[in-house]
């Protein structure tokens, strides 16, 4: 059995194993708006709203299949082992504004939020420092994965380039230069529009496409990047704002290629969709968990994070359902043991930058508001 078909078999088997959780959570997530509770599998919200009881933790995940995978791999077994009730909430893909509003009002609704490393750079005051007396590991693939304000649960490639093999059956795009080449690879494009993440990483792809070497990217030449983006903009059909939407527009043929998160792209590939994936020049990032400042159940939130890090077999389950890379070496080995052989930490040689590289981090922190303002102006004009 080839690795691709073995991975597809395992993907289908994993989907079957967790069918109830996947189906129920996905259906509810589709019906919910950001901030509503998911009641299937996870405990329902109490009539009076989220409780700050000592035996509870309120988690804002992104909904859909990702939340279902997290529930199956982490939250359900954590709840069974500890007796701490996990209440799963459908939160936004970019949670910063919602968390800032909660912190400003003093009405903290969430204890644990799936976020991005960029969010902690953009506003450090919105998050609790990680309690390293609870959260620790000596087996991390990257030793700095436990930061002051975040804990990495997944190593990701975002963006990778995903494309339709129906549109390009013989030779698909293999680089960011190909993504920008509408003559050689004609057809409508998708483009991510996810706040600061897009404001930093899309110009990176444009500069790579324009011939800038990865070692020479920073500080970003934004004038050059946006000149390249201006030429592509007429061919961008969809500025997608959720990871589920990025899958939908490619699966349904609305676009022929789009930047995507690696897990979302690999779910399509190994789930049987006619999709190809190029890792060439991808940005290596992280799926990150943060605890909002003043979270009422922050101790329980940190206990959830430690459970994730100290259980490699559960990491492997999560990878088998999402194709995002586990955070520990033991988790990666366990995922390979399940036959999953395609995830971001195995493609490190193809990465252009890492989001937590000191040069990238310093540049992002210093220029966050400028980057975001320029991106928003470009998208909106």
pLDDT tens track for 301-330: 999 999 999 999 999 999 999 999 999 999
Q: SS3 letters for 252-302?
A: CCCCCEEEECHHHHHHHHHCCCCEEEECCCEEEEEEEEECECCCCCHHHHH
| 157-285+347-380 topology per CATH | D-Maltodextrin-Binding Protein; domain 2 (3.40.190)
At 10-56, the pLDDT tens digits run: 545 454 444 444 444 443 333 333 334 443 344 333 323 344 445 99
| pTM: predicted TM-score of the whole model, two decimal places | 0.81
Same fold, 3-155+286-343 and 157-285+347-380: yes
Q: Domain spans of the chain?
A: 3-155+286-343, 157-285+347-380
| CA dist., res. 123 & res. 150, Å (int) | 12
In terms of Cα–Cα distance, which of 350, 353, 87 is closest to 197? Answer: 353
- What is the residue-averaged pLDDT of the chain? 87
| CA dist., res. 244 & res. 363, Å (int) | 29
Class of 3-155+286-343 in CATH: alpha beta
């Amino acid at each position: 059995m080839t690795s691709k078909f073995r991975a597809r078999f395992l993907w289908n088997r994993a989907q079957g194993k967790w069918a109830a959780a996947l189906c129920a959570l996905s259906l509810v997530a589709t019906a919910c708006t950001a901030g509503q509770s998911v009641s299937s599998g996870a405990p329902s919200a109490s009539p009076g709203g989220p409780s700050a009881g000592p035996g509870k933790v309120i988690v804002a995940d992104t909904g859909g299949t990702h939340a279902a995978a997290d529930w199956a791999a982490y939250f359900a077994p954590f709840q069974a082992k500890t007796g701490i009730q996990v209440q799963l909430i459908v939160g936004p893909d970019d949670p910063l504004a919602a968390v800032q509003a909660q912190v400003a009002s003093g009405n903290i609704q969430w204890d644990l939020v799936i976020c991005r490393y960029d969010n902690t750079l953009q506003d450090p005051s919105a998050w609790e420092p990680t309690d390293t007396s609870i959260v620790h590991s000596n087996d991390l693939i990257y030793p700095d994965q436990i930061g002051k304000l975040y804990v990495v649960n997944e190593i990701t490639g975002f963006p990778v380039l995903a494309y339709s093999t129906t549109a390009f059956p013989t030779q698909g795009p293999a680089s960011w230069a190909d993504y920008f080449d509408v003559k050689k690879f004609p057809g409508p494009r998708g483009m991510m529009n996810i706040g600061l993440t897009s404001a930093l990483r899309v110009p990176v792809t444009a500069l790579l496409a324009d011939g800038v070497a990865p070692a020479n990217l920073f500080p970003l030449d934004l004038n050059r990047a946006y000149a390249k983006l201006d030429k592509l903009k007429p061919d961008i059909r969809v500025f997608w704002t959720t990871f589920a939407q990025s899958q939908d527009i490619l699966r349904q043929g609305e676009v022929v290629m789009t930047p995507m998160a690696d897990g979302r792209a690999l779910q399509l590939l190994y789930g049987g969709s006619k999709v190809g994936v190029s890792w060439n020049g991808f940005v290596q990032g992280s799926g990150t968990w943060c605890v909002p400042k003043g979270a009422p159940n922050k101790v329980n939130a940190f206990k959830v994070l430690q459970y994730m890090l100290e259980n490699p077999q559960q990491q492997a389950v999560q990878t088998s359902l999402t194709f995002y890379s586990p955070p520990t070496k033991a988790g990666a080995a366990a995922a390979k043991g399940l036959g999953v052989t395609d995830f971001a930490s195995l493609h490190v040689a193809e990465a252009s930058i890492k989001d937590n590289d000191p040069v990238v981090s310093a540049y992002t922190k210093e220029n966050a508001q400028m980057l975001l303002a320029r991106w928003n102006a470009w998208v909106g004009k």
